[in-house]
Amino acid sequence: MLQPATLNFLKALKKNNNKEWFEKNRKTYEAAKADYTDFVQKVINEFGKKNPAYSSMLAKNCLFRINRDVRFSKDKSPYKTNMGAYFNPGGKKATTAGFYFHCEPGQAFMGGGLWMPMPPQLSKIRQEIDYNYADFKKILANKKFKTVYGDISRSAEYTLVRLPKGYEADNPAGEYLKLKSFVALSPMKDTDLTSKELVKKTVAAFEALQPLIHFINHALAE
């Protein structure tokens, strides 16, 4: 579970997103960061019991910095109002699929996959879906996956209007071949974040997503 004080800090930061306020409240931030780091390590430890590739990971290497990169942004707010962690044995900059946990009051979620892969990777994933559509459908139809995620994310922002070049209009996998990102997300309430069941729930959600992660990474390894 996460401490209510961690969520309270993020709420306050959203209202006071400036360097002066942050520095005055740095100790509170450090406590919130330590709380989130402890949670992430517990998830790694539990998930790693069945998935050895993750067992030696350290939480500090999974966390994203709270400072925003404002160089190319109109929004010059210096800090993120969330805490994020990416779980991938290859690290945060890995180009393979992994798991993600987003802690933000009112907008928290967990899930994973591969967001906006580069064209060569995208082609490999689409080809794998086309060649092994029955297996892909089976993964998405799995009861545990559907209970946690419902479906793979298909927001218009990350979906082509037409099928990619090389695929026929009547391709049964067409709706998935149009995707530019392959992620599944499960929204969470603030009460979920402070629940004693949070680690258990997160690990179960990651395990439900594992077959999709394997499918994507198998495609990339081809």
Q: Residues 119-131: pLDDT tens digits?
A: 999 999 999 999 9
pLDDT at 60 over 90: yes
The type of residue at 220 is L
Residue 61 token pair? 């290497």
Question: How many other CB atoms sit within 10 Å of the CB of residue 90?
Answer: 12
- The arithmetic mean of pLDDT across residues 160-167, rounded, is 95
Q: What is the pLDDT of residue 70?
A: 84
- DSSP for 35-73, please give it: HHHHHHHHHHHHHTTT-HHHHT--GGGTBPPSB---TT-
Q: Where are the alpha helices (DSSP H) in the chain?
A: 4-15, 19-24, 26-47, 52-55, 119-131, 133-141, 143-149, 174-177, 190-193, 198-221
Q: Residues 1-35: pLDDT tens digits?
A: 999 999 999 999 999 999 999 999 999 999 999 99
Tell me, what DSSP letter sits at residue 99? E
Report which of 204, 221, 215 is spatially closest to residue 110, judged by C-alpha positions.
Answer: 204
Residues 40, 32: Cα–Cα separation, whole Å: 12
Residue 29 dihedral angles phi and psi, to the nearest 5°: -60, -45
Of all residues in the chain, what percent carry a pLDDT higher than 90? Answer: 97
- The arithmetic mean of pLDDT across residues 204-222, rounded, is 97
